[in-house]
Chains A and B, each alone.
Chain A
Amino acid sequence: MTAGTRAAIPDLATIARFVDEEVAPYADEWERTEKIPAEVQGRLGELGLWGPFLPAESGGTGMDMVTLGRIHEEIGRGCSSVRSLLTVHTMVTATVQRWGSAEQGERWLPALAAGGTLGAFCLTEPEFSGSDATVAGTTAVAESDGWVLNGAKKWITGGQRAGVLLVFAETESGMSAFLVPADHPGVRVSPVSRVLGTAASMLAAIEFDHVRLGPDALVGPPGWAAGTVMTGALDLGRYSVASGSVGIIRAALDASAAYTSQRRAGGGLLRDQPQIRAKISEMVTARNAARLLCAEAGRLKDAGDPATIMATWVAKYFASTAAARAASDAVQIHGANGCGPDYPVARLYRDAKVMEIIEGSTQIQELTIADEAYREVAR
C-alpha cells in the first residue's frame, strides 16, 4: 500500500492466519535477534494494521475500537514485540489525528497509516519514570523561529526504527508535546538491548542535543492541556496492552493444552491430572474475563464515554496480571522444557512480566482503581 491510499478492511480471520503463519513461528527468533524484520513491518502495512482507526482520507478504514482491540489481541498472541510496536505507533497516530493541525495531519498521517513511517512515544526519561509523568529533564525553549529541544528519553519502544517521535518536554507554560523527525540534526538514537521481555521491540535511548524545531513541531495545546494529550495517548496504549495481554493468555493456554495432551507422566497424560486441569480452567476463565473487560473498555471508547478511562485501567490491570499468572503456570506445566528455548512459554513469561510494568504499572493501577472505589462508596 502506498501512502494516502485506502487500506483493505482487515478481518480477524485474516489476521489470525497471518499470526499463525508469519508471526508466531518466528517470535522466538526475533526475540533472540532483538529485531522485527522490516518485511514484517511491510506486511502489517499490507494488512492495514498500522492505523485502521483513521478515516479513509488519512489511509485508514475508520475501524472501531472494539475491533482494534481484538486485532491487537491477535497480534499479541503471536508476538508481544510486534504488538508493542503497534501500541506505540497507535498512540502517536491517534495523537496526531486528534490534536494535530491540518498541516501536521497531512504531513504525517498517510505515512503513519501505511506504516512507512513508524511512530514512537517518548515520555519516560532515564531519571524520571513514566509513572510520574514529570518531564522536568527534557526541555523545549521557545525561540523566535520555533523551539530548541534538549534532554534524553529511555525505554522508547520502536525507537530504533521510528521515523517520527512524539516527545513530551517541559516548556515555559508547562509540559508540551512535540513531533520530532527521528533523523533531525541533534537526535541521537542508541539501542537498548538485553531487556527482560518484548526484546524484539527495538527499544532505544534517545538524546536531544539542541534540536532546533519549527513552530509547527508543537502538537496539541501547550501547558495544562498537554496532560490531556498525554493521558489520551496513554489510555489508548493501555487498551492495546490489555488486549495484547489477552493474546498472551491465549498463547499460554494453547501451548499448555497442546503440551499436556501429548506429555505423559505417572502412567498417563498430563492433561488428566486434576492440578493441570485446574490451571487450564483458570487460563480459560482469565482469557474470557479479560477479553470482556477489554471489549467493554473499547465499547465505551467508541461511544466517547469518559467511563472508558477507568474501564481501561481495570481491563489492563486484570489482563496484565492474569497474563503473568497464565504464563507462569504455562512454564510450570512445561517443567524443565518450559525453561528452555524449544517451547514458546519462556518468552511468554518474560513478555507477560513487562505487561505488568508498561502503560501504568500494577501498583499505579491499584492506587488509581482503589481511588475510584472509595469515590463510589462515598457517593
Chain B
Amino acid sequence: MAQDVRDDIRSFIAAKFPGMSFTDDEDIFALGFVNSLFAMELVMFIEKTFGTKIPNEELRLENFRTVVLMAELVQRRAEAAESGAVT
C-alpha cells in the first residue's frame, strides 16, 4: 500500500509542477514551488484520494514536506480509521 500511496502523491505533485525533479524523501517546500494554493490542493487531494479527513493536529508542515511523510500521514489516518478512532 505504502508504495501505491507514494506513487499517487508523487504523480499529483509532478503533474502540478512538470519539469521539477524531486525524490520521495526530498523536501518539496525547500524547492520553493509550494504556495498556500498548492498546499490547499494537496490537502484536498489526500483527503479525496485516500478517503480520509486530516485533523487539525496532523495539519502540520512537517507532515507534508516529503512524499514519504505524506504517505506516512495517510497510513496513520488509515490505522486510526481501522481502530475506530475516526469515523
Contacts and interface: CB of A to CB of B under 8 A. Distances in A.
Interface of A: 99, 101, 133, 220-221, 223-225, 227-228, 230-232, 235, 303-306, 308-309, 368, 375, 378-379
Contacts of B17: 375
**Chain B interface main SS type:** helix
A306 B44 contact: yes
Interface string B44-63: 11011000000011011100
B4 to A, nearest CB: 19
A305 B60 contact: no
B16 interface: yes
Contacts of B44: 304-306, 308-309
A232 B56 contact: no
Given A221-B59, A221-B60, A224-B61, A133 B40 contact: no
B18 interface: yes
Interface string B10-49: 0000011111000000000000000011011111110110
B43 A228 contact: yes
Interface of B: 15-19, 36-37, 39-45, 47-48, 56-57, 59-61
Given A221-B56, A225-B59, A306-B44, A133 B36 contact: yes
Given A221-B60, A224-B61, A227-B36, A306 B18 contact: no
B61 A232 contact: no
Contact of B48 (A101, A227, A303): A303
Contacts of A305: 44, 48
Given A99-B56, A224-B61, A368 B41 contact: no
A305 B48 CA distance: 7
Contact of B61 (A225, A231, A235): A225
A368 B47 CA distance: 23
11 contacts: A99-B56, A220-B56, A221-B59, A224-B61, A225-B39, A227-B36, A306-B40, A306-B41, A306-B48, A368-B37, A378-B19
B60 to A, nearest CB: 6
Nearest to B16: A375
A220 B41 CA distance: 17
Nearest to B19: A378
Nearest to B12: A306
Q: Which of A230, A305, A306, A368 has the most CB of B within 10 A?
A: A306
